[in-house]
Amino acid sequence: MAVIIDGKALAARLRQQIKEEVARLKEQGVHPCLAVILVGDDPASCFYVNNKEKDCAECGIKSIKYALPATTSEAELLGLIAKLNADPSVHGILVQLPLPKGLSAARVITAISPDKDVDAFHPENVGRVMQGKYTFAPCTPAGVMKLLEAYSIPVEGRECVVVGRSNIVGKPQAMLLLHANGTVTMCHSKTVNLAEITRRADILVCAVGKVNFITADMVKPGAVVIDVGMNVNDEGKLTGDVDFAAVEKIASYITPAPGGVGPMTRAMLLDNTLKAAKLAAKI
């Protein structure tokens, strides 16, 4: 049976460390602050934004929420971002995605100052991650790397397979594994003989968004299985992409979903906000 990677516990430890560092920064007159922009009232986005506010409060990070109507124009949104970019008391800016129809996420994200881009979605930060010289890494892939590190799971020289090629998870995840000297293969919806490739993986990261997408026959015995998926199953329960019950019998390590990668994503946003505050203060 696999060791179950406890992302919830590790995230709680990280939050405690961040809280202590925030307190030290405040003694130096630096008050970390995150601006969170929510446009419209998508229930999932509202839930995520509330969690982000709660996490910030726990760590002593100030969060300012801008809840804008779905009818907000792109010019208004860009105006708010310009104001926040220019405000030295705001260190991080996050625009919750997806945006309502008619607003260009690409244009909006590109308007955020790269130094305040705590999601690391700005093209400049994407490029830096690609080059391996970055301050901010996207929260989910960064959280996965922290989990591997915390469980002393080596990456160097190992076969890493990433399933899913999103800009937010799959692509940057592949880069971070590559920077850690993994041998990385990316798979996606057009991959032929997917199971043949996933079975090669020493470390398998799945970010597809489909219930039970990774079955036991797709996993090499002893592999490390990281489930980034967050889906609702037929019974209305939150579940990942991996057939957990079957795969935990053959993997060496596995993340549960929920309780694995999700809490780490949240913790890494706090970490990036702390980094942004230190960057602004030249600490």
Told to check if 97 binds ligand GUN by CB under 6 A, we report: yes
Q: Active site residue: 6, 55, 115, 119, which one?
A: 119
**Which DSSP string do the residues of 214-274 spell out, in sequence order?**
B-GGGS-TT-EEEE---EE-TTS-EE-SB-HHHHTTT-SEE--SSSSHHHHHHHHHHHHHH
Active site residue 119: yes
Retrieve residue 275's tokens.
């980094």
Residue among 22, 40, 91, 96 that touches ligand GUN (CB under 6 A) = 96
Q: Measured between alpha carbons, how far is 110 from 122 in angstroms, rounded to an integer?
A: 5
Active site residue 87: no
Restricting to residues 118-137, name those near ligand GUN by CB under 6 A: 119
Question: Would you call 134 helix, strand, or coil by DSSP?
Answer: coil
Q: Measured between alpha carbons, how far is 160 from 170 in angstroms, rounded to an integer?
A: 12
Nearest CA-CA partner of 204 in 240, 150, 237, 168: 240
Q: Active site residue: 52, 116, 171, 220, which one?
A: 52
Minimum CB–partner distance for residue 229 and ligand GUN (Å): 13
- Please give the order of strands across the beta sheet that includes 62-68: 62-68, 33-39, 92-95
Stretch that binds ligand GUN, among 93-101, 228-236, 238-246, 252-260 (CB under 6 A): 93-101
The residue among 166 and 191 lying less far from ligand GUN, judged by its C-beta, is 166
Residue among 18, 95, 225, 254 that touches ligand GUN (CB under 6 A) = 95
Residue nearest to ligand GUN (CB): 97
Residue among 18, 139, 205, 264 that touches ligand GUN (CB under 6 A) = 139
Please name the helix (run of DSSP H) or strand (run of DSSP E) that holds residue 115, with its range, or none.
none
Stretch that binds ligand GUN, among 90-98, 172-180, 214-222, 256-264 (CB under 6 A): 90-98
Active site residue 96: yes
Which residues contact ligand GUN (rule: CB under 6 A)?
Answer: 94-97, 119, 139
Active site residues: 52, 96, 119
